[in-house]
Structure 1
Amino acid sequence: MDTQEALDRAVAGWLARSHPAPERAQAEWAGQGVALLPLGDRFAAVRMPADVVHAAVDACEPDQVAVALGETLGGSIIYSPRVSGGAYYALVQGHAGLVWAYGDLVTCLGHGTYLGVPRLDRQQPPGTYWVVPPRYEGDLCAPRTIISLVKSGRSRPAVPVEA
């Protein structure tokens, strides 16, 4: 097993251990490519509307958005088309849902919420995928960078979607 493979296995294990039955998360990844993981202990997730993110990074093409979010937020980010208009989920410390003070801007999902978390190799559309996959165990975004990004996106006009 090479170094990257070992790291991916460690990261997948870290994600799976957020589930009370980690083997179930592994089975869901194997069967559906996405596992429903509970939020609030190992990590929480800040849901950001796609139009706000696209305005903030001045792009809507997936590869350009991925580069911009990786540089700006520096942590793990998931995209899901399941929410109307699409949404990006920035993973943050688990306790953030308890102390989140920015509910007027974006929602932080914590205890009592589940998030569809893709298998690590799902890094492109279609479906739910990693925009910025975790590089190591605990690779999370800092809330201050998320808030700065969202404020920037809300102050700019929407990016036109190319047909």
Structure 2
Amino acid sequence: MMMTTPAQPAGFIGRAAAPPYPRKTPIAVTGVWLAEALDDPADALAAWDDGSHAILPAGWRFDTVRIPAELVHAAADSAIHSTLAEHLADFGGPVICDPARWYYALVPPQTSETWASGLARCLSRGAWLGVPRTDLTEHAHLHWCVPMEYPARLCDPGAVAALIERGHGQLTPERTEFRHPR
């Protein structure tokens, strides 16, 4: 006969029963920080909970540099996800990847005011960005190529600009001097 104590229900055999519903992974502190860019952060949290991405405004918590994928691939001399993630980690902050064509480096707010590169656009107030769950790093859909480690730790705009220039240099053929035949 099994003995139970008041803290253990009858039939307790040493581990808690599974909840009657699937447990959802809690959103990280960085997710809450990002969600607070909205007037109602619960909207973003609900979207992530449903497996979707949240649409967040740029210009409040972050600006974002939208970089064409071909520039990133050229700068890294690779299209392999892990190699790209290593290169993008040099930015010092989070990068979102839309595998179809763009990388989005999250940079400090007001970066757009001083952004000088014509090769990639810096988006700020008035722009909206699809932001995946903070733990979504699979590379088949919108995902974090470089996840956000801490709230407010954003990419260094100078490092982002340098990578863009390096990629452009790789894609642009060297100038040669043309000589007319004599």
Q: Same fold per TM (> 0.5)?
A: yes
Once the two structures are superposed, the pairs formed by residues 95-114 of structure 1 within 5 Å of their partners are 95-102=110-117, 104-114=118-128
1:51 to 70, 75, 100: 70
- Aligned sequence identity (%): 36
Could you list the runs of 5+ residues in structure 2 that have no partner in the other structure?
Answer: 1-24, 173-182
Residue identity opposite 1:80 in structure 2: D
Contact persistence 2:56–2:130 (CA under 8 A):
yes
Q: Max radius of gyration: which structure?
A: 2
Give the number of aligned pairs. 148
Cα distance in 2 for partners of 1:157, 1:46 equals 19
Q: Does 1:118 align with 2:115?
A: no
Cα distance in 2 for partners of 1:135, 1:108 equals 22
Quote the RMSD (CA, aligned, Å). 1.8
Cα distance in 2 for partners of 1:11, 1:93 equals 15
Could you list the runs of 5+ residues in structure 1 that have no partner in the other structure?
Answer: 159-163
Once the two structures are superposed, the pairs formed by residues 79-158 of structure 1 within 5 Å of their partners are 79-82=97-100, 86-102=101-117, 104-157=118-171
- 1:16 Cα offset (Å): 0.5
Superposition TM-score, scaled by structure 1 size: 0.85
- 1:124 Cα offset (Å): 1.3
1:9 to 19, 28, 31: 28
Residue identity opposite 2:35 in structure 1: A
Superposition TM-score, scaled by structure 2 size: 0.76
Cα distance in 2 for partners of 1:93, 1:62 equals 25
Report the counterpart of residue 6 of structure 2 in structure 1. none
Cα distance in 1 for partners of 2:112, 2:50 equals 30
More helix as a share of residues: 1
Contact persistence 1:33–1:122 (CA under 8 A):
no
Contact persistence 1:16–1:25 (CA under 8 A):
yes
- 1:20 Cα offset (Å): 1.4
> What per-residue deviation string (whole Å, max 9, x for no partner) do you get for residues 56-81 of structure 1?
011101111112211x2111000013
Stretches of 4+ aligned residues off by more than 3 angstroms: none
